[in-house]
A and B are shown apart, each in its own frame.
Chain A
Amino acid sequence: MTVITHNRRRSRLSTLIDQPGGVSAGVALAQAKANLAEMEARSRAVIEEKVAALAALQPATSIEEASRVLDQAYDHSSAVIDAAGPFELTDVCVAAANLCDLIDAAPEDRPFDWRIVTVHAQALRLLLTLPVEAAEARTQVLASLKDVLKAKAPGAAQSD
């Protein structure tokens, strides 16, 4: 196969980065964290809204509808990860990613077991209400979700 190599011209970004002035990594990260901290309450509201939307979804009643409803569930779950990501809500992200994995691995020729979505929505609600110190309870919730993944999509669980 022919390979054409374009010699890399220095990007303007590579020139800018070493210009005089700027900030140190420590200061930059402190500023970023402060900026994000101001959004934490809104993040929580977005997560709760997306979890509620996930819980309110109804299973598809026809094959034509099935992929659209699953895509909606996938989108809600992804949006939870988007909003929770910067705020160290690791367990919430893990639970949402578990559902994304399950939907992604769902065979197209068989109906999706809707209980999976219901269980994940409930688990996400629980994780959001559990106190920070309830580490053991959080671990149990995540372990039970992981068991669902292992049972329903062994391939996805292995690659995890």
Chain B
Amino acid sequence: MRGMNGVGESLRESAVFNFAGAVTMVIDDSPFALELTTQAILGFGIKVRHACASASEAIAILRDHPVDLILVDCEMPGMSGYEFVRWLRRSGLEPNAFAPVIMTAAHVRRSKVAEARDCGANFLITKPFSAAVLLERIVWVARDARPFLEVGDYFGPDRRFRSEPWEGLERRSEEIRKAEFEAQRRASIEL
């Protein structure tokens, strides 16, 4: 069985958690989908503080209010969920720029797959999903200890989920530089 940080892990029925004080925001242009999400997470003890029908409405709130968890629909008219998350991560707002974000989607267009991966969300859940999957993902993002990375256009949690060592040639320039520095340091000591 995978550990508590494993993606895809099923929660034990007896696992206890407390989200009572979490300031939560849900963004969905569909009033019914928004209510479904709100009612599901209310069952988990999470009261939605900010229910927003658009990204622009959410942005106005995020500028002034710290939020602990954001659930946002991917496809919305005007600013999409992907564009919203990208804005959030680059917003410089403390602590909101680093807030855990779960995206939800009924369907992800093929042209949007890269955007979904690169916008900076912690997790994307595709529908249909059960309440159990939603709860599992919320617990998972709460325990998500990945560092935030800034790489080119990307700003968000480290997208690498696997921690197994890579057995091939090292290709990361940062690691190559570290190895070179270490080799030079050792050589200087031996001299």
Please tell me if the beta carbons of A46 and B32 are within 8 angstroms of each other in the complex: yes
Q: Which chain B residues (143-191) contact chain A, with CB distance < 8 Å? A: 143-152, 172-174
CB contact between B32 and one of A32, A82, A96 (< 8 Å): that residue? A82
Q: Is B61 among interface residues, defined by CB-CB distance under 8 A? A: no
A13-B141, A13-B142 given as contacts; is B30 within 8 A of A79 (CB)?
yes
Closest Cβ of chain B to A157, distance in Å, is: 13
Closest Cβ of chain B to A138, distance in Å, is: 15
Number of interface residues of A (CB under 8 A): 60
Please tell me if the beta carbons of A42 and B135 are within 8 angstroms of each other in the complex: no
Please tell me if the beta carbons of B128 and A90 are within 8 angstroms of each other in the complex: yes
Residue of A nearest to B75 (CB): A78
Q: Which chain A residues (93-107) contact chain B, with CB distance < 8 Å? A: 93, 96-97, 100-101, 104-105
Contacts of B12 in A (CB 8 A): 25
Among the 9-residue stretches B42-50, B51-59, B80-88, the one with 4 or more Cβ atoms under 8 Å from chain A is B42-50
Q: Is B110 among interface residues, defined by CB-CB distance under 8 A? A: yes
A36 vs B38: C-alpha distance in the bound complex, in angstroms? Answer: 10
Residue of A nearest to B12 (CB): A25
A46 vs B141: C-alpha distance in the bound complex, in angstroms? Answer: 31
Residue of B nearest to A86 (CB): B36
Closest Cβ of chain A to B24, distance in Å, is: 9
Instruction: Categorize the interface residue count of chain B.
Output: 35 or more
Please tell me if the beta carbons of B106 and A100 are within 8 angstroms of each other in the complex: yes
Contacts of B39 in A (CB 8 A): 32, 35-36, 38-39
Q: Is B98 among interface residues, defined by CB-CB distance under 8 A? A: yes
A29 vs B149: C-alpha distance in the bound complex, in angstroms? Answer: 34
Contacts of A2 in B (CB 8 A): 151
A16-B21, A16-B22, A17-B139 given as contacts; is B106 within 8 A of A23 (CB)?
no
Among the 9-residue stretches A4-12, A110-118, A128-136, the one with 4 or more Cβ atoms under 8 Å from chain B is A4-12
Please tell me if the beta carbons of A22 and B16 are within 8 angstroms of each other in the complex: yes
Please tell me if the beta carbons of B131 and A29 are within 8 angstroms of each other in the complex: yes
Q: Can you identify 18 A-B contacts, CB atoms within 8 angstroms?
A: A5-B150, A6-B147, A8-B147, A11-B68, A13-B69, A16-B20, A18-B18, A22-B17, A22-B18, A23-B44, A24-B14, A25-B11, A26-B13, A28-B43, A36-B39, A36-B131, A74-B107, A104-B110
With A31-B44, A36-B43, A89-B128 given, name 9 new contacts (CB 8 A). A3-B149, A6-B147, A18-B18, A25-B17, A36-B36, A74-B107, A82-B33, A83-B36, A85-B128
Where the two chains meet, the residues of A that have a C-beta atom closer than 8 Å to any C-beta of B are 1-9, 11-14, 16-26, 28-36, 38-39, 42-43, 46, 74-75, 77-79, 81-86, 88-90, 93, 96-97, 100-101, 104-105, 156
